[in-house]
């Protein structure tokens, strides 16, 4: 989605650019019950009552829309009035639940942090485990901008804007009946009316919300150091050394240990380097391309028969290619190049998805599991950006030729699209291959679903892959024998 910034369009994401500022609203409605949505609207009214009519020291055009930045803009004197009023009417612990106090207390720069002061004065000690558990729960429930929690928070935000007189509609744009329905949200409407209203609000949200706040960047960029990554566990697989002499075993063992040591140092580096959760492209691309190369080295070290230039050239090529690409990216000092790197790779993955869909549509019968594979690929294609907005760059081939056209010419277009192109993405370390093989998703919702290094190899295709490779090899051999036979027949003397 995009938000208008002067004469420029700036891409924005609800959970990244707005959710942290709407945290109080999301927290209040996180139970998923409409009674709490109604309660949140009453709490906002109660806060407004506590403020009174005096707006001395308030910013121009200030409004109480339920955002943390709205609370932060309230002058100190008015803050005292609000807290005193909430205590007197017994609403303070509802406006600021103890768990929310733990969460906001983790961020020294959080807007509206003054709301938790009565808790601190009563002796509350901020507990990071409670903060992570409850903040993770609310953020996890609210990340989908089309979900119930986010939609209801946006609807309350819209309601407050309308009550404050910040929204003006023409008679054709909003009927008095609809305006009253918004002001009376959600108690005075039927559930069906509320769902429809929330849909309208989602469509208009970015027209009403201002530029994303610096607090949103601070929130995400602080979470990596405040709360640990939560990644699925991996299983370690070992390989036996199949070498005859004890001397050879010792030498090979030493080389393997060195490869493991290099890999271990790399893994540790990824764990102790801030990935910049607000804009992790640079970290993820650099980590991805280096991980891809070192993973090859680590596996390569386990198989001595592969230690020749004939078989080891792809590993050497990957190391040199990675070093060149890494130096180039850093030399250019252009942050957009990392996003372009991802876009190119995911565009190629999208192309593979389209070819796979075409193959399924045109085939009389497809093998078991191919739809599941298509769903997996589709999930990766749409992970960061909807595929409608992903461009496909076909790129080129070796000098003076186009491999795709050559394959079509010899009736191997399907092999190219489903086998060659997919394998090439791994050879070239394109983003689609890196994403599927090098990373796994952090399970901590406070990290925004960023990628963490997969420390052990993952078999995405499964053990049937070698069977398919052997079947294809047998077909290749059969065709090769056919051509040789045809050649011999042509050269026999008459």
pLDDT digit string (tens) for the chain, length 494 residues: 445 444 455 668 999 999 999 999 999 999 989 899 899 999 999 999 999 998 999 999 899 999 999 999 999 999 999 999 999 999 999 999 999 999 999 999 999 999 999 999 999 999 999 999 999 999 999 999 999 999 999 999 988 888 887 776 655 555 666 667 777 777 767 777 788 888 888 888 887 787 778 999 999 999 999 999 988 764 433 433 444 556 667 777 777 887 888 888 888 888 888 989 999 998 898 888 778 877 878 787 787 766 755 456 677 767 776 667 666 667 677 888 888 888 888 888 888 889 988 988 888 888 778 888 888 888 988 888 888 877 766 654 322 345 557 567 667 788 777 777 777 787 788 888 888 878 889 999 999 999 999 887 554 433 344 345 545 444 444 454 554 455 343 333 33
The predicted structure's pLDDT at residue 392: 65
Residues 6+ apart with CB under 8 A from 168: none
Residue 301: both structure tokens together: 């070290």
- What CA–CA distance (Å, rounded) separates 466 from 424? 17
- What CA–CA distance (Å, rounded) separates 103 from 136? 9
Q: Report the chain's mean pLDDT, rounded to a whole number.
A: 79
Annotate 117-166 with DSSP letters as a single string. HHHHHTT----HHHHHHHHHHHHHHH-STTSHHHHHHHHHHHHHHHHTT-
Residue 435: both structure tokens together: 């994403």
The predicted structure's pLDDT at residue 225: 95
pTM of the complete model: 0.74
Among residues 50, 111, 40, 108, the alpha carbon closest in space to that of 79 is found at 50
The predicted structure's pLDDT at residue 361: 87
pLDDT digits (tens, 9 = 90+) for 106-156: 999 999 999 999 999 999 999 999 999 999 999 999 999 999 999 999 999
Contact between 48 and 160 (Cβ < 8 Å): no
The predicted structure's pLDDT at residue 380: 87
Residues 6+ apart with CB under 8 A from 259: 297, 298, 300, 301
The predicted structure's pLDDT at residue 242: 42
The predicted structure's pLDDT at residue 171: 54
Annotate 22-79 with DSSP letters as a single string. GHHHHHHTTT--HHHHHHHHHHHHHHHHHH-S--TTPPTT----S-HHHHHTS-HHHH
């Amino acid at each position: 989605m995009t938000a208008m910034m002067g004469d420029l369009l700036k891409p924005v994401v609800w959970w990244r650019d707005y959710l942290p500022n709407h945290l109080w609203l999301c927290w209040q409605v996180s139970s998923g019950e409409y009674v709490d949505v109604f309660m949140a609207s009453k709490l906002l009214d109660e806060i407004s009552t506590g403020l009174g009519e005096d707006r001395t020291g308030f910013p121009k055009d200030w409004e109480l829309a339920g955002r943390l930045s709205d609370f932060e803009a309230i002058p100190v004197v008015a803050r005292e009035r609000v807290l005193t009023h909430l205590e007197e009417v017994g609403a303070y612990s509802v406006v600021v639940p103890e768990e929310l106090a733990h969460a906001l207390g983790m961020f020294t720069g959080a807007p509206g942090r003054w709301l938790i002061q009565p808790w601190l004065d009563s002796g509350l000690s901020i507990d990071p485990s409670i903060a992570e558990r409850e903040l993770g729960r609310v953020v996890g429930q609210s990340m989908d901008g089309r979900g119930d929690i986010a939609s209801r928070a946006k609807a309350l935000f819209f309601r407050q804007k309308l009550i404050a007189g910040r929204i003006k509609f023409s008679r054709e744009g909003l009927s008095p009946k609809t305006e009253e329905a918004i002001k009376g949200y959600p108690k005075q409407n039927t559930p069906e009316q509320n769902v429809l209203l929330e849909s309208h609000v989602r469509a208009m949200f970015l027209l009403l919300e201002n530029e994303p706040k610096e607090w949103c960047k601070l929130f995400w960029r602080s979470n990596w150091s405040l709360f640990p990554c939560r990644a699925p566990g991996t299983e370690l697989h070992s390989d036996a050394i199949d070498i005859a002499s004890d001397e050879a075993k010792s030498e090979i063992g030493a080389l393997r240990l060195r490869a493991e040591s290099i890999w271990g140092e790399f893994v540790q580096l990824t764990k102790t380097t801030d990935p910049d959760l607000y804009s992790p492209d640079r970290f993820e691309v650099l980590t991805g391309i280096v991980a891809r190369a070192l993973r090859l080295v680590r596996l390569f070290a386990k198989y001595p028969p592969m230690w020749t230039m004939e078989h080891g050239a792809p590993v050497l090529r990957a190391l040199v290619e990675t070093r060149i690409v890494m130096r180039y990216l850093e030399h250019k000092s252009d942050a957009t190049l990392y996003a372009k790197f991802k876009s190119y790779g995911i565009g190629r993955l999208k192309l593979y998805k389209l070819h796979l869909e075409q193959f399924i549509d045109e085939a009389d019968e497809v093998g078991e599991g191919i739809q599941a594979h298509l769903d997996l690929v589709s999930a990766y294609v749409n992970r960061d950006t909807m595929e409608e907005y992903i461009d496909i760059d076909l790129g080129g081939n070796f000098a003076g030729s186009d491999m795709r056209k050559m394959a079509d010419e010899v009736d191997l277009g399907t092999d190219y699209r489903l086998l060659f192109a997919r394998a090439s993405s791994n050879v070239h370390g394109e983003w689609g291959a890196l994403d599927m093989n090098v990373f796994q998703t952090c399970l901590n919702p406070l990290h925004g679903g960023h990628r963490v290094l997969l420390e052990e190899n993952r078999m995405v295709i499964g053990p049937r892959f070698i069977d398919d490779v052997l079947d294809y090899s047998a077909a290749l051999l059969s065709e090769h024998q056919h051509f040789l036979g045809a050649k011999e027949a042509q050269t026999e003397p008459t």
